[in-house]
Amino acid sequence: MATLILTRHGQSLWNAANRFTGWVDVPLSERGRAEATIASTKLRDYQVSVCFTSMLIRAIETTVIILTECDEICGGRIPIMKHQEDDKDWHGWDKYDGNPDGELPIYTSSFLDERYYGDLQGKNKAEIAEKYGAEQVQIWRRSYSEAPPGGESLENTRERVLPFFTSRIMTHVTQGDNVLVSAHGNSLRAIMMHLDQLSPEEVVKLELGTAVPIVYEIDGQGIVQSKEVLSA
């Protein structure tokens, strides 16, 4: 049995401003950092072996806060960001002759990034609802297959996220590693659709609070044995 912990990032500055964020790289708000700290205290009884986040700073910040506010989660290991060697901008300066057993690796991947909101990115949600109608905006936000103008649908997001999740993340889980994934509302919906065997109609109704850990216990065959939402 292994533990898989999923958490949406804490509140970002654009969440607080009611703006569509998508792939815009906006940091956490003060409240978001506090939410991540609270998530860390909720997870103090868990030890993780490896972490995955999106490439966006709000998910990375959330991961780092969770891992560093309560030392028990790391089990005495030091969190280390693991840059991708196939990234053309990666310079390789982070190589060192150290002790890998003392590290807790954090892998970043664009496959875990939030759904791309296209032309809506940066726009105020209330103003967009006034312009296009609340019903149309709700379809763009919560429909499974309909994408906002120039953006991704949840179905598109699932097609991007799921291969990475099954090949990279679940490989660790099925070999017994406890894994923390810090990502976004829609990339996590894609993962939970798979884990919880949700239909398209069910997944669009799934609401994820900011920095609320969801803990799965999964066996060596990748079958979910239990699930717990660590809400307040």
- Tokens read off for 214: 């969801």
Is residue 176 helix, strand or coil? coil
Q: Who contacts 125 (Cβ-Cβ below 8 Å, separation ≥6)?
A: 18, 19, 20, 137
Q: Which residues pair with 8 in a beta bridge?
A: 183
Side-chain half-sphere of 204: how many Cα atoms within 13 Å?
A: 15
Length of the chain: 232
CA angle (137 as vertex; 135, 142 as ends), nearest 5: 95
The answer to whether the CB of 169 falls within 8 A of the CB of 179 is yes
Please list the active-site residues.
Answer: 9, 114
